[in-house]
Amino acid sequence: MKVNQIEKKMQMKIWEIIKYQILTYCYLNKIQVSDADLECLTLLSVRGEQELTVFCTEVHTRKIFKSSQTVRNALTKAEKKELITKEGRSKKKIAIHPALKLLTTGNILLNYNFLALDETV
């Protein structure tokens, strides 16, 4: 079987490589996210577990979403899509869902291999 192959190598900043991992996960799992959702999830990945209210304020301050309430709404949708976890009662903690298996620290090399078989063969 003949396979056409392309190999691309690129150096990215830590923010970009985390964002790429989230985007790839969402694409492969058919989860739709907006650019703002993606920025928000990337920030949460970089920050690690956060207190919900503090994180919503930071996301709003960075002008990713127009208000803290919009951030909360986006995080509720992300939780339903199993992209984040929420724990606690009064001061809820949020974090990226472990199923994403993101690498967020140190030197990171992503090595994805995708194969598409030509169905006309």
Distance CA 65, CA 68 (A): 7
- Using the predicted structure, report yes or no on whether residue 40 has a pLDDT greater than 90: yes
- Using the predicted structure, report yes or no on whether residue 38 has a pLDDT greater than 70: yes
Angle at 97 between CA 91 and CA 102, to 5 degrees: 125
Instruction: Look at residue 70 in the predicted model and tell me its pLDDT.
Output: 97
- Using the predicted structure, report yes or no on whether residue 28 has a pLDDT greater than 80: yes
Give the pLDDT mean for 10-21.
97
At position 75, the amino acid (one-letter code) is L
Give the model's confidence band at 109: pLDDT under 50 very low, under 70 low, under 90 confident, else very high. very high
Which residue is listed with tokens 């803290």? 68
pTM recorded for the entire structure? 0.92
- Using the predicted structure, report yes or no on whether residue 13 has a pLDDT greater than 70: yes
Instruction: Look at residue 120 in the predicted model and tell me its pLDDT.
Output: 75
Give the model's confidence band at 105: pLDDT under 50 very low, under 70 low, under 90 confident, else very high. very high
Is 60 in contact with 68 (CB distance < 8 Å)?
yes
Q: Domain extents for the chain? A: 14-100
Q: Point out which residues pair with 96 in neighbouring strands.
A: 84
Q: What CATH code would you report for 14-100?
A: 1.10.10.10
Give the pLDDT mean for 78-82.
98
At position 54, the amino acid (one-letter code) is V
